[in-house]
Structures are given as C-alpha cells and as structure tokens.
Amino acid sequence: MNQFIRGVARAAVEAFDLPDPVLEIGSYQVAGQEDLIDLRGLFPNRPYTGVDFRAGPGVDLVANVENLPLPDASVGTVVAFSVFEHVKQFWKGFDEVRRVLRPDGVFLVCCPFYFHVHSYPHDYWRFTPEAFESLLEPYPTRILGWHGPERRPLNVWAIAFGPEAKMPTPEQYETYRAKLTEYAKEEPLGLVRTLRYRLGRVLCGRRPFAPHLDRDKWKTEVRKAA
C-alpha cells in the first residue's frame, strides 16, 4: 500500500454507492504504517470486517481468501488491495469473493505490477489490466485503472459491480476521476531525485526512468458485458 493506492480507495468510497457490510481482505496493519493502510477509516460507523491469514491489528477474522468462512451472498462490498499477488491459488480467491458478495455487491481490487518481490509470506503473481478484465468477466460493469507507464504500470486496480448493484452514473464516474486527481498521488520524489531521473532521461532515454517520471499519471476505462 502506498499513498497513491490509498487515494484510489478513497476516491471510490466517496464517488460510488458501496453497500454494507464491508469486508476487507488482507486487513493486517503493519506496524508504523497504520495511517496509510487503515482502510477501515474510509468507512466510518459502517459494519466492517477485516480478514487476514494471521491475527493482529486490524484483523477481526483469521481466514484464507481461498476458503472464506462466510455465507453465500452475505457481503455488500469487498476490498482487497495489495493482496492477490500473495494468494497462491488466486482464482479460488476471486471465486470466493464472488460467492460471498450479494448480487448488488461491489468488489474493489488492486495489485502491484511493476514492483519488487515482497513476501507476506510469499509473492506469486502480477496482474495486467487485461488479467483483471478476464477475472472479472462475471460482473456486468467494471472500471479498470492503472498508473505509471502504460506498458509498465506500477499498480492495476478495478471496481466491479454485481448484476443488481447501483451502476455508476456518468456523473459519479466523473466525480471519481476528479477525486483520483485530488487524492491519488505518490509521495514527492524530492528535488535531487527528480533532477537525477531527468538527467538520466537525457543521457539514456526516457524508458528506463518512466516508472519514476510517470508515477502520478493514471488511466481509467469503463468496461461492460457485451
């Protein structure tokens, strides 16, 4: 989780109709990062359950997303940020999310793409926008997003709306994009690093430095079932 991705979550919460109750997958709050990764605070005074494979801060239920101990169609919104790269059988996790979501539910998911190996406890996968599009085909409306260079995105995310969900209106979608502009920003590089990358671009070409220079650039697309 970084400041940009927290901004993605905040923009979605403020722009769209996300029903209760809320289930967060991967809710363990790492010491020293609570203010950044505490997504529960984006849903104040709402029924919220944090799930993780280990007990600890932010965790209400210890479970594996591949086998959630929850009834069918019992959840309104599922949030899974920086989680599925660590799920060995990720396809089972996507199936479980769909099982526990109500027909009017919404699924928010985000994963890194261009990022170092980070083991919690293992790092298995990377997902392109096309991968999310394929995995989320059962949802009639999806909003896909990514930031950084288009051919080497830093993170990829999606908001998938169930068949009976309140579909985003054009006005809500524009509000979402406006809030992304406001909230989804990386921490500033600083003058020295910015000058270093710009000099490197002049000497070596733009491509090696694009992940640093383009990290606040983003794109979103609305996809609907045919």
* 20-60 tens-digit pLDDT: 999 999 999 887 777 778 999 999 999 999 999 999 999 99
* Maximum distance among all Cα pairs of the chain, rounded to whole angstroms: 58
Range 3-187+216-224 has CATH code 3.40.50.720: no
Are the C-beta atoms of 110 and 157 separated by less than 8 Å? Answer: yes
Residue listed under structure tokens 């288009």: 150
Q: Of 102-106, 119-123, 182-186, which range is least confident? A: 119-123
pLDDT, mean over the chain: 91
pLDDT level of residue 12 (50, 70, 90 thresholds): very high
Give, in degrees to the nearest 5, the angle at Cα 146 between 170 and 91: 100
pLDDT level of residue 216 (50, 70, 90 thresholds): confident
Are the C-beta atoms of 46 and 21 separated by less than 8 Å? Answer: yes
Q: What is the mean pLDDT of residues 113-139?
A: 91
Q: What is the mean pLDDT of residues 170-190?
A: 90
User: Nearest CA to 49 among 61, 64, 63?
Assistant: 61
pLDDT level of residue 189 (50, 70, 90 thresholds): low
Could you tell me which residue, 64 or 120, shows the higher pLDDT?
Answer: 64
> pLDDT above 90 covers what percent of the chain?
73
Could you tell me which residue, 188 or 133, shows the higher pLDDT?
Answer: 133
φ and ψ at residue 19, rounded to 5 degrees: -75, 160
200 contacts: CB under 8 Å, gap ≥ 6 = 208, 209
67-93: burial string, b at 16+ Cβ within 10 Å, e else = ebebeeeebbbbbbbbbbbbbeebeeb
Q: How far is CA 97 from CA 15, 44, 102, 107, in A?
A: 22, 22, 10, 8
Q: What is the mean pLDDT of residues 209-222?
A: 82
Residue listed under structure tokens 């029903």: 19
